[in-house]
Amino acid sequence: MLVLGLETSCDETAAAVLKDGDVLLSNIINDQIEIHSKYGGIVPELAGRSHNERVHRVITQAVQEAGVQLRDIDLIAVTMGPGLIGSLLVGLNTAKGLSYGLKTPMIGVNHLEGHLLAIFLQKKIQFPFIALIVSGGHTDLYRVSDFGQYKLLGRTRDDAAGESFDKVGKLLGLPYPGGPAIEKLARKGNGKAHKFPRAYLEKGSLDFSFSGLKTSVRTFLNQREQEGRITLTDEDISAGFQDAVLEVLVNKLISACKRENLSRIVVTGGVASNGALRMAVQKEAQCWGFEASFPDPVFCTDNAAMIACAGYHKFIRDQSSSTDFKELDAKASLSVE
């Protein structure tokens, strides 16, 4: 079965062709960093407009690279949420047009399910496992029991981890996106030079909170500016901030494994590309005898290959697709449970 995946939930215009759920024939990702960097963050209207300008070109490139034609596609899988409504509508309406014109079935996919299953693009992992989705829009812990069987264990109550990286990066005057820039600076800094607060919330909670940490960094920078002297370098601040985020992520991830009595871990989402996070998870997992897996960085960022993968398994599982386009609508908020 050939699946065409489409992803336009935020600021990546992506298309991919996947064969039989695990043979990736093409994976095209067109980001919008250049467009949004001047604003220090994503501008929804510009994101939607950019998707509209690029989506057909990206699809054509994906199909050509896969060595197939659109008429060969057996299923179209498209992200229907969660995400930016304007961006989602571009992908969804494009998929509907293709489905109608080609008489090819289509299926709506939850973006988060795509992240949860991205690991299957490169390896088969045994169920059940604990998954941490850590990205610019989400920081969630799930128990993944099988394809389509997900239990939410914890989520962020305010800023997502990736969002906090971007906001602190902006406070430091770093280019957008802030995550990679902070990671680069942190390599040269001393994370112990200043200990920023860790928000563990109430005892036993697997939820996250990063807004207080962001405020703490802002307060520290304001004090440094008022004092007129550098008491801590940007490298040290980046390292201290990153350590605070990673410590909470890793500790709650391990706590989830213990609570659910599971030893397999998957860390996915854009922030899962962070080298320091990968090292911290691997180190702690080894201490407890757990097995940690990470998608390759190209599958951590928003991509259409993971949407094609999730769509394939959803179709095989339910043996259902839709030609009634009224049933498929963009949803800014969408639970994966």
Q: Is pLDDT of 235 > 60?
A: yes
Domains of the chain and any CATH numbers = 2-116+300-327 (3.30.420.40), 126-294 (3.30.420.40)
DSSP strand pairing (75-81 vs 106-110): parallel
CA distance 251 to 255: 6
How much of the chain, in percent, has pLDDT values that exceed 70?
Answer: 97
Query: Computed from CA positions of residues 182, 187, 189, 190, in that sequence, does the dihedral angle turn out positive or negative?
Result: positive
CB 190 within 8 A of CB 237: no
CB atoms within 10 A of CB 44: 14
pLDDT band at 319 (very low <50, low <70, confident <90, very high): low
Q: pLDDT of 52-67, one tens digit each?
A: 999 999 999 999 999 9
Mean pLDDT of the chain: 95
Residues 6+ positions from 133 with CB-CB distance below 8 Å: 112, 115, 116, 139, 140, 142, 268, 269
pLDDT band at 5 (very low <50, low <70, confident <90, very high): very high
- For residue 326, the model assigns a pLDDT of 66
CB atoms within 10 A of CB 214: 22
Amino acid identity at 266: V
Q: Which of 89, 149, 99, 66 is nearest to 318 (CA)?
A: 149
pLDDT band at 221 (very low <50, low <70, confident <90, very high): very high
What's the burial of 103, exposed, middle or buried (CB within 10 Å: 0-12/13-18/19+)? exposed
